[in-house]
Amino acid sequence: MSDGEARPDHPAESRPEDAALATRGLTRSFGALVAVDAVDMSVPEGELRAIIGPNGAGKTTLFNLIMRTIHPSDGTVWLGGRDITDTSEQRSPHLGLARSFQSNQLFTNLTALENVRIVAQTAQAGPFSLDLLGRGKSVAEAEATRLLERTGLEGNADVEATNLSHGDQRRLGIAMALATDPDVLLLDEPTSGMGPTETRATADLIDAVRSELGLTVLLIEHDMDIVLSIADRISVLNQGTVLKTGTPDEVQADDSVQEAYLGGMKEEL
C-alpha cells in the first residue's frame, strides 16, 4: 500500500509525514515470537490515543520500539513527519518525545524538586553538561517548581522521592517526563496500583495537561473506565497486531474486540 492510499488505521491519516507520531510496518521478533507484528499507526497532533489489549499483546514492546529502547526487526517510526527509526533513544528529549514508565524511574534519595530539576536541566544542557549545579540550575529549578505545581506536588517539593506515596511517585514520573518539554508523551499504565480516587485524579491530570500544553499522548491503561472517559481514540492490540482503532463507542461496539479483550463490556455498558 502506498503512502498516498488510505490505511485501515484512519483514512484521513494515510501519510506518516502528516501525523504527530506514526509507525509503518513496525515489527519486533524475539526468536520465533513476534511480539509486535507489522503495526501501522497514525496519531494526529493533540490526540489522546489509548493503547489497550490483553497481557502479552505487545503494548509495552510497542512503546519500547517507539522510544528506540529496542530496535525493530522491520518497519519505521515517525515523529512530527521525520523518520526517527535509526535515531538513538538518548536523542528522544531533544526530538520532543518523552515517556513515563510502568515502574517508577526516580532518583529515590533526592527530593521531588531535585528529581524534576535534574531532568529539566539535562534536557536543556545535555546529559554530560558540567553546569548541572551552576548557573543553569536556577532556571531549571523554576521550571521544576512550575511542573510540581501543575501536577499537584508543590506541597511535596522537599520530600525525598522514596518517602512519597505511590500515587505521588506516579505523578512525579509524569512531571519528570514533562520536564523535557515534549510534543508527544507516552504514558505506560500511569494509574497502576492506585485506588479509585487517585486513579480518577491522575486521569483528570493527564487530560488537563494534554489540553493545556497541546500534547499528543499515547496511553497504555488497563482501567477501561479511564480509557473510555479520556481517550479520543483507542487502538486495540492482540497478539502483536492492531485489531481495531476507533472512537470509544466504535471500539465497544466491535465484536472482534469483545471476543479478544473486553469480555462482554458492550452488554455491561
Per domain, the residue ranges of the chain are 1-96+183-269, 106-181
Q: 181 falls in which pLDDT band (50, 70, 90)?
A: very high
Do 105 and 169 contact (CB within 8 A), yes or no?
no
Q: Quick one: CA dihedral 221, 69, 58, 236, positive or negative?
A: positive
Do 136 and 125 contact (CB within 8 A), yes or no?
yes
Asked whether residue 269 carries a pLDDT value surpassing 50, the answer given is no
Helices and strands, number each (H, E), in the chain: 10, 10
Residue with grid cell 513527519, as numbered in its chain: 81
Asked whether residue 14 carries a pLDDT value surpassing 80, the answer given is no
Asked whether residue 256 carries a pLDDT value surpassing 90, the answer given is no
Domain 1-96+183-269 = CATH 3.40.50.300: yes
pLDDT by residue (tens digit) across 92-123? Answer: 888 899 998 776 778 889 999 999 999 988 87
pLDDT by residue (tens digit) across 69-100? Answer: 999 999 999 999 999 999 988 888 888 999 98
Asked whether residue 268 carries a pLDDT value surpassing 90, the answer given is no
Q: What percent of the chain has pLDDT over 70?
A: 86
Residues 174 and 86: their CA atoms lie apart, in Å, by 26
Span between the terminal Cα atoms of the chain, in Å: 37
pLDDT by residue (tens digit) across 129-153? Answer: 545 555 557 778 899 999 999 999 9
227 phi and psi, to 5 degrees? -55, -50
pLDDT (0 to 100) of residue 66:
97
Whole-structure pTM value: 0.85
With residue 141 as reference, give the H or E element that holds it.
helix 136-150
Asked whether residue 264 carries a pLDDT value surpassing 60, the answer given is no
pLDDT by residue (tens digit) across 209-246? Answer: 999 999 999 999 989 999 999 999 999 999 999 999 99
